[in-house]
Chains A and B, each alone.
Chain A
């Protein structure tokens, strides 16, 4: 009997196994610098943020770094002070009239309110060829399980690459403006407890507005001239997705072409690779991409992002609905077009399709 009792008592300690505590190191909050100065009209923006730690999910917010002293210095010692935007904390703008000059090198210098000093490596501004022409291609992207594919417009830049220099290209879009059409005649009163029906209440105005939006590429468009040095070539430079509104009538965008440094191109290429990881076994492993910013207090501190200086050329493009070979079904807004953010009924002064 006693023997059985002993066996039973022996079972208790076996149930009291301590859980194993994994000691995960605390992540660092890293300064992130993102900015481009160029030879085009300004203001040019430098954004400073501080990354937050994350484990299985984001635990904090990416916060703007406010109150810093931010200057751009050229290789002759000329300093340009940037001013923090009143409406955009953490984003610092060059003064009116500032333009980078071809052939000069620029460094970004930052002093945070904590007194830490950061500097970029010098970035030299290279000249950039003009965009000779912009071709418009309609792109469709099949979506699994859906009958209608995603679609949009691909802008293809035609450039005459100079033979006497090694060029690294980067393309971005300016804010776009397009004719935004709605159906105010279909407006109905929102159902309420007193009137659960959608009572038609057509509005007399307005069916056509001009909407301006920040058009962000969903990918990074870059190229280097290893394969076309000195030749005329056509390169995809932007993709604008059709959301059922943009290409109902007329769409306008300025395609900006930049000549970045070799190091900046390398950085953008690595970011592009990381951003386009699809989960396949051929994807590159995720890794921290080091930029060109250095902490003067601790050179081994990881500072994310890149300060770029580049030559800029620009080409304005008007895209008509007839330029697209495939369009999304027109989205209908049954209301006055002026209720949509970023719209105006006034024709932009420089609207010249």
Chain B
């Protein structure tokens, strides 16, 4: 009986041991949310939930273009020692491509997956760029959306350097050197897709070419200049450290040669000249004391025909021809608000109405469609109609005037204004639209002044000299300016 009792107790104990259950370990992986999708990047949030301490040898996400996850992109985040959230991110995806994603955790060699989420990478979009007009080496901002890593920007055929990609929405790029075109399309290449702005980018244009130097290394000031069928003329005035310059030098833009031209009159400074007339000026007999010349000449090519003397003094006046008639405005003798007209048939001078601005030879002016435009010291551009002897404000010059002596030359429907004393700026004004545009700066010594400027074959020739106060062997330089060159 005792043996039976002992056996029974033993069996009961054995039964109890056999019924001991191990506690289940619950481990769940959740693919919580896709928190970021762009053109080529995706960022996902997952969570590991477990009721026991865990040591996962790896965790992360699977990403694939098909639901079977064949050849998946694995975002491996490595070992995970505790439950909680995890974030995975990958780049280099195809734009506008549907993907399937799921979180995973690898425990004891077994991979546990979360549910599958679907996502589609976004399409890149271009919106705007600024500035639309600039120079190589400066920066441009391109606005858009979903610009992934590896995005390329082209100015025409030239690739730009991308300095910064801000939140895949703003590209800061360095404008490359041009490939010969002034106006180029802007293209943004993302993977195999090329997006092009409808608006084009324009390089600041204007090419200066040094074509020669004034003969004998001379620098002349207070001179006159004009052009006619024989060439481009500059002369008279004062030669630095050498007294009055007695004649002219003529430049042939086709052969690129200079030729000396004799002048039968008195060498003076502050004279006036147009393509057909020359006269006035004076000789300094003491400091700022002048004896005025009233000589008046008709210019025939490279010869000078005397005309009856001027009935008035004209010193540092501004002269222009319109419809074969000579106009003299401002300066000493005529008065800064006076304007006179010469009738070549009667050889008589008429006094016109007073001008609304002070005029002398330091003012830049230009002629367009039988009207004369003066750029005043306050930057106002006045339009003068000689037919009606009337004035009106035309527009305003946006550049620097400094100390006057700028140039203004018309080519077609555009006028080029600038190169005032000690400035290297040149502006283009479209006379049809009144839009201003900067052109490239002139090279050379910054302390230069214009000695003469001419228009020939759609290009501007500019004779420049270092200011009289600048010493040294600095011959005057003749530049050719191509407004559309680059």
A contact residues vs B (CB 8 Å cutoff): 71, 73, 75-79, 107, 109, 119, 121-122, 294, 296, 299-300
Contact = CB atoms under 8 A, between A and B. Distances in A.
B87 A296 contact: yes
B35 A122 contact: yes
B342 interface: no
Contacts of A300: 84-85
Nearest to B89: A296
B127 to A, nearest CB: 9
Contacts of A296: 43, 87, 89
Contact of A119 (B36, B38, B125, B145): B36
Given A71-B167, A76-B145, A78-B145, 9 more contacts: A75-B37, A77-B145, A121-B33, A121-B45, A122-B33, A294-B87, A296-B89, A299-B87, A300-B85
14 contacts: A73-B36, A73-B167, A77-B145, A77-B169, A79-B170, A107-B35, A119-B43, A121-B35, A122-B33, A122-B35, A294-B35, A294-B85, A294-B87, A299-B84
A296 B36 CA distance: 11
Q: Which of A73, A79, A109, A296 has the most CB of B within 10 A?
A: A79
Interface string B81-95: 000111101000000
B299 interface: no
Nearest to B85: A299
Contacts, number: 46
Interface in B280-320: none
Given A73-B167, A78-B169, A121-B45, A107 B36 contact: yes
Given A107-B36, A119-B35, A299-B87, A76 B167 contact: no
Q: Which of B36, B38, B86 has the most CB of A within 10 A?
A: B36
Given A71-B167, A121-B33, A121-B45, A77 B39 contact: yes
A119 B85 CA distance: 14
Contacts of A76: 122, 145
Contacts of A109: 167
A299 B35 CA distance: 13
A180 B85 CA distance: 53
Interface residues of B, number: 21
A77 to B, nearest CB: 4
A73 B166 CA distance: 12
A14 to B, nearest CB: 44
A119 B34 CA distance: 12
Interface in B113-145: 122, 125, 145
Contact of A294 (B37, B45, B167): B45
Nearest to A122: B35
A76 B146 CA distance: 8
Contacts of A78: 145, 169
B168 interface: yes
A77 B122 contact: yes
Interface in B17-50: 33, 35-39, 43, 45
Classify the secondary structure of B's interface with A.
strand
Given A119-B35, A121-B35, A79 B84 contact: no
A170 to B, nearest CB: 22
Q: Which of A71, A77, A78, A296 has the most CB of B within 10 A?
A: A77
A121 B32 CA distance: 10
Closest A-B pairs by Cβ, 7 of them: A79-B169, A77-B145, A77-B146, A299-B85, A79-B167, A77-B122, A299-B87
Contacts of A73: 36, 167
A76 B170 CA distance: 15
Contacts of B125: 77
B126 to A, nearest CB: 12
B145 A79 contact: yes
Contacts of B122: 76-77
Contacts of B84: 299-300
Contacts of B145: 76-79
A296 B167 CA distance: 15
A73 B37 CA distance: 10
Contacts of A294: 35, 45, 85, 87
B171 to A, nearest CB: 12
A260 B39 CA distance: 28
B86 to A, nearest CB: 6
Interface in B249-270: none
Nearest to B46: A299
A214 to B, nearest CB: 32
A294 B87 CA distance: 9
Nearest to A296: B87
Contacts of B87: 294, 296, 299
B121 to A, nearest CB: 10
Nearest to B32: A121
Contacts of A121: 33, 35, 45
B194 to A, nearest CB: 18
Contacts of B37: 75
Contacts of A119: 35-36, 43
Contacts of B33: 121-122
B460 to A, nearest CB: 45
Contacts of B45: 121, 294, 299
A64 to B, nearest CB: 23
Contacts of A122: 33, 35
B86 A299 contact: yes
A3 to B, nearest CB: 59
B118 to A, nearest CB: 14
B50 to A, nearest CB: 15
A262 to B, nearest CB: 14
Contacts of B36: 73, 107, 119
B421 to A, nearest CB: 43
A73 B169 CA distance: 10
Contacts of B170: 79
B163 to A, nearest CB: 17
Contacts of B89: 296
A296 B86 CA distance: 9
Nearest to A301: B85
A150 B169 CA distance: 53
A77 B85 contact: no
A109 B38 CA distance: 14
A119 B146 CA distance: 17
B227 to A, nearest CB: 55
Contacts of B39: 77
A296 B35 CA distance: 11
